[in-house]
């Protein structure tokens, strides 16, 4: 497949990615605690955090994600398909474990009290690409705002794209706070790309999903090694052309 090919699941999936990033002192503070999905870890994580997420090790487009909330004397389990409640944690664990015929590897992740736009969840996708000379460049950023009461922001699940200026306006941020966040996102995205490519030099593009919590802390939610940006063609044509240009130039240099 050549040097240009890049695996969709770097480092073996979400848990491997977490363990790799956690070794970077400047990045680990941005990572939600993530562990293998076992009954023991479900007990431990639900005791420690009021909300946790269960995700497949290898998935995309918000598929197979469950949000578990610890309530009084019961647990709420919510997915894109609906909500169930369980009085016993073991029953909840068995319910998720038996959802697919083929046994899937999953992770359990600390839930973050995320910032919202008028009651709607949002995250931020930053794209970083490598020049033929191996230098990383920050080529664009946009946000995805989910539907009210949804647990994911994916476009395939009803989410909408917002450019960063529009998002910051809706959040009511001052100009100084906008600049601060933009710089923080750009710096963290580039640091993430540089660190990961020091472990796997063939990495040449990454889509990094960020989110802010309700206290203004930045979190890295997910790393996408084959990010899509075609949806930007109409809403941000100049950004789209820039991303296409970097991808084309890098591919030509590898041929």
Summarised one tens digit per residue, pLDDT across range 42-52 is 999 999 999 99
pTM higher than the cut 0.85? yes
Provide the β-strand partners of residue 130.
Answer: 136
SS3 141: strand
- Closest-CA residue to 66 (of 40, 100, 30): 100
Once rounded to an integer, what is the mean pLDDT over residues 198-210?
92
Which string of DSSP letters, residue by residue, matches 160-204? EEEEHHHHHHHHT--HHHHHHHHHHHHHHHHHHHHHHHHH-TT--
- Closest-CA residue to 53 (of 31, 19, 88, 77): 77
The secondary structure of residue 213, as a DSSP letter, is B
Query: Domains along the chain?
Result: 10-32+114-254 (3.30.470.20), 34-110 (no CATH)
Summarised one tens digit per residue, pLDDT across range 123-171 is 999 999 999 888 999 999 999 998 776 767 766 666 789 999 999 999 9
């Amino acid at each position: 497949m050549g040097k240009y090919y890049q695996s969709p699941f770097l480092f073996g999936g979400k848990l491997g990615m977490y363990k790799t990033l956690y070794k970077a002192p400047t990045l680990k503070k941005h990572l939600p605690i993530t562990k293998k999905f076992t009954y023991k870890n479900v007990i431990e994580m639900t005791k420690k955090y009021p909300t946790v997420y269960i995700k497949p090790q290898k998935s995309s487009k918000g598929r197979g994600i469950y949000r578990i909330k610890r309530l009084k004397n019961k647990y709420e389990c919510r997915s894109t398909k609906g909500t169930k409640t369980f009085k016993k944690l073991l029953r909840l664990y068995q319910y998720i474990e038996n959802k697919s015929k083929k046994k899937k590897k999953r992770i359990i992740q600390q839930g973050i009290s995320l910032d919202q736009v008028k009651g709607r969840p949002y995250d931020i996708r930053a794209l970083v690409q490598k020049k033929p000379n191996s230098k990383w460049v920050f080529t664009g950023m946009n946000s995805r705002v989910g539907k009210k009461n949804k647990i994911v922001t994916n476009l395939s699940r009803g989410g909408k794209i917002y450019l960063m200026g529009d998002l910051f306006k809706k959040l009511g941020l001052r100009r100084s706070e906008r600049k601060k966040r933009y710089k923080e996102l750009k710096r963290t995205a580039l640091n993430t790309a540089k660190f990961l490519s020091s472990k796997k030099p063939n990495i040449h593009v990454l889509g990094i999903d960020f989110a802010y919590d309700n206290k203004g802390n930045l979190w890295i939610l997910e790393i996408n090694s084959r990010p899509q940006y075609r949806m930007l063609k109409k809403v941000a044509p100049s950004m789209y052309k820039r991303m296409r240009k970097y991808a084309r130039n890098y591919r030509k240099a590898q041929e």
